Amino acid sequence: MSFLRNRMGLIVVIVIGLALFAFVASEAVQYGRSFFAGDRTTVGEIAGEKLQYDDFNTKLDQNTKQYQQQFGGTLNSQMTSYVQNFTWNQYVSQIIFKKEVDKLGIVVGDDETNKMIHGGDPEIARNFANQQTGQLDRNQLNQFLTSLQSAPANDPMKAQWASYVATRIEAKKVEKYLNLVRNGLYVNSLEAKDDYEAKNKLANFKYVGLDYASIPDNKVTLTDADYQSYYDEHKSQFKNPEETRSFQYVAFNAAPSKEDSAEVKKQADKLAADFKASNNDSLFVQINAVDNANKAPLVYQHKGQLDPKLDSVMFTAPKGFVYGPYLSNGSYKVSKLIDERVGPDSVKARHILISPQTEGSMAKAQAKADSIKKLIAGGKSFADLAKMYSIDKGSAEKGGELGTFGRGAMVPAFEEAAFNGKKGDLLTVESQYGVHIIQVEDQKGSSKVVKVATIDRPLQASSTTQSAAFSKAQSFLSGANGNNFAAEAKKMGLEVKTANDVNGLAAALPGLDNARELVKWAFNAEKGDIADKAFTAGDVYVVPRLTEIKPKGELSLEAVKTLITPAVRNQVKAKQLAEKLQGSTIDQVAQKAGSKVVPVQNIVFANPVLPGIAQENKLIGAIFGSKPNKLSKPIDGDHGVYVYVVDSFVNPAPLTNAVREREQIGQAMLQRADNQIFDALKDKANVKDYRAKFL
């Protein structure tokens, strides 16, 4: 007891320490090993700076809305992925360059800022360019700046302009930084001469070659030493730019059965009869169409814009004609010819867009649009009012001009008004973007257009079909584990498929659509793990098993062993083939090898292609470093092993204009410089990307 009393303080400290360690360790394991792979709110780390998910998501939402406004409607998976990567790269470049700019103390002074605002910045100048000349319209810019100064302090345009100018200032700082690096690039006369000779010096030689394919693969035994030797020689090539994961999986088909297809067709047949009898086609479509695209306002379309199956019948059919059901894009569809007419092929128009968000409601936006319309009708300049009131700044600074456009270029409500109106008409129309004041400036062409309404019934698997597939997946899950995955699959007659080197942000995989949840699981699992549920990917249920994790950075020999096997095999074959390519003359080598001497003329170093074979960099490089009339040692190339003799070199005429040659090389360097600078800074910044856990 005396021993315990004397040491109680130390014991308590140790016990508390162990408890704390156990708690922290359990938390790290429970929440995805946050110490090693980012915490639950960090979407990435850039040069030691953490990027929070909320901040990233806010910017992602802004960019997504901009792209939706630009392209209309919802974004598909490919565009969504593009916007996600675009937003990420925005943050990466912003943080990386800001640190470099701040480190060097690069600033943009007040005079420079003022000059930028008044047209010195190319981006600002483009936004205020004369439509005819493409040059800066200084009057247009000055009018905008004057109206900005007189605008109320709470005018959202002031905040938008301040934000835009701040962005251009940061861009100017980055431009200064890049110019500092670019100005350090230099091409000397010796480099110019070497480049000139590489493009113009000719080599004439003859060679004897033995193809790697001349030795069957099954005649070559690869040892651990062979793999290690190749790996050590090429270690720099095995740098993984980002973490990837590979997994096996089995798939259970839940696609619609023949019975499901027959049932959906039966529903579509009934719809076709009802559609034919309908007196209110627009309402019928709104009630019965499942595909959102078919619920959009009906517009006139010219030949070539309809579904190919409709295009061949609707332009010769009578009004009210019903076509279908027909199968298109995974749905049974029924289409009805609502109307036909002859209309313009293209329209030239301008508009002023009033935002209901800014005005407080759609009704208030409409009232403001009516007031502006009266001003225009009374003689006020449409262009001036567009610059003052339109929220579509891309067209506002051009006086509202949208140029000439064909059918399908604008949102349906806008298109309907512009193409159905007449030259000179001043119209107001509502769309998802707000209220448009449209002036039809011109209409060109004339052709038949049709208005076709479509309803659909998606070809989907019934609950019976889905349940059957799901039950099979559950049965497999109940019997499979990390050790018997393949055996259990074989027992059930299932094919084990693989998804190799999957990117953490992949949304689809070969043969698997909508696989985002599956990929997210893979990036939160451990090697050997089997998922505890079946994932839905398109028309299949998928049960995966994680087989490999390739971390970012230098990969181990084990991770690349399968990848390098063909090259290692060729390296072993090269030693065997080199033993056959022996002799004191090229003819003797050919005779002993059972091959022939091949003459080659006029090869240049800059184009290292062996005629009739392929690119052989190592061989051509060795030739240009050799002396004439000397038999070489065997050279192991990409496609075989070679022995050669150089007959002669033909030197080009002396370089007379080194300045021009240096300029050409310098221009090529400048074209690569910006990307290479960014890549170098990004590599130095040790960028850690945890987006796979969130998106």
Pairwise CA distance, residues 369 & 437, whole Å: 6
Instruction: Quick: pLDDT tens for 226-278.
Output: 999 999 999 989 988 888 999 999 999 999 999 999 999 999 999 999 998 88
Long-range contacts for 580-585 (Cβ within 8 Å, ≥24 apart)? 580/210, 581/208, 581/210, 581/634, 581/641, 581/642, 581/643, 583/631, 584/631, 585/631
pLDDT band at residue 693, thresholds of 50, 70 and 90? confident
pLDDT at 132: 66
Nearest in space to 646 (alpha carbons), one of 603, 583, 608: 603
Instruction: Quick: pLDDT tens for 55-84.
Output: 998 888 888 887 876 666 677 777 888 888
Mapping DSSP onto H, E and C, the string for 295-325 reads: HCCCCEEECCCCCHHHHCCCCCCCCCCEEEE
Answer whether CATH 3.10.50.40 is correct for domain 258-342.
yes
Pairwise CA distance, residues 489 & 458, whole Å: 32
Instruction: Flag whether pLDDT at 17 surpasses 70.
Output: no
pLDDT band at residue 407, thresholds of 50, 70 and 90? confident
Question: Lowest mean pLDDT: which of 230-239, 294-303, 305-314, 366-375?
Answer: 294-303
Instruction: Flag whether pLDDT at 300 surpasses 80.
Output: yes
| SS3 of residue 95 by DSSP | helix
Other beta carbons within 10 angstroms of residue 593's beta carbon come to 20
Instruction: Quick: pLDDT tens for 500-521.
Output: 999 888 888 888 888 889 999 9
Q: Please state which CATH number belongs to domain 244-255+462-552.
A: 3.10.50
Q: State the DSSP H helix or E strand holding residue 645, giving kind and residue range, or none if neither.
A: strand 640-650
pLDDT band at residue 31, thresholds of 50, 70 and 90? very low
Instruction: Quick: pLDDT tens for 149-171.
Output: 888 888 888 888 888 888 889 98
Nearest in space to 549 (alpha carbons), one of 249, 242, 251: 242
Instruction: Flag whether pLDDT at 197 surpasses 80.
Output: yes
Instruction: Flag whether pLDDT at 144 surpasses 50.
Output: yes
pLDDT at 619: 96
Within its chain, how far is the Cα of 654 from the centroid? Answer: 47
The structural domains of the chain, with segments of one domain joined by +, span 1-30, 106-182, 202-238+558-650, 244-255+462-552, 258-342, 346-444
pLDDT at 14: 33
Instruction: Quick: pLDDT tens for 441-471.
Output: 999 988 888 888 888 888 989 999 999 999 9
Pairwise CA distance, residues 457 & 294, whole Å: 11
Nearest in space to 211 (alpha carbons), one of 682, 587, 658, 573: 573
Same-fold call for 258-342 versus 346-444: yes
Instruction: Flag whether pLDDT at 659 surpasses 60.
Output: yes
Task: Provide the β-strand partners of residue 249.
Answer: 497, 544
Q: What percent of the chain has pLDDT over 70?
A: 92
Instruction: Flag whether pLDDT at 110 surpasses 70.
Output: yes
CA neighbours closer than 13 Å in the CB half-sphere of residue 605: 18
Instruction: Flag whether pLDDT at 21 surpasses 60.
Output: no
pLDDT at 305: 82
pLDDT at 477: 93
Report which residue type is found at 171. A
CATH architecture of 346-444: Roll (3.10)
Instruction: Please work out, in degrees rounded to the nearest 5, the angle formed at the alpha carbon of residue 569 by the alpha carbons of 565 and 572.
Output: 140
Instruction: Flag whether pLDDT at 483 surpasses 80.
Output: yes
pTM of the model: 0.62
pLDDT at 11: 34
Instruction: Flag whether pLDDT at 3 surpasses 60.
Output: no
pLDDT at 36: 36
Instruction: Flag whether pLDDT at 529 surpasses 50.
Output: yes
pLDDT at 33: 36
Average pLDDT over residues 592-615: 93
Average pLDDT over residues 536-543: 91
Instruction: Flag whether pLDDT at 28 surpasses 50.
Output: no
pLDDT at 294: 59
pLDDT band at residue 125, thresholds of 50, 70 and 90? confident
What is the rounded average pLDDT for all residues in the chain? 86
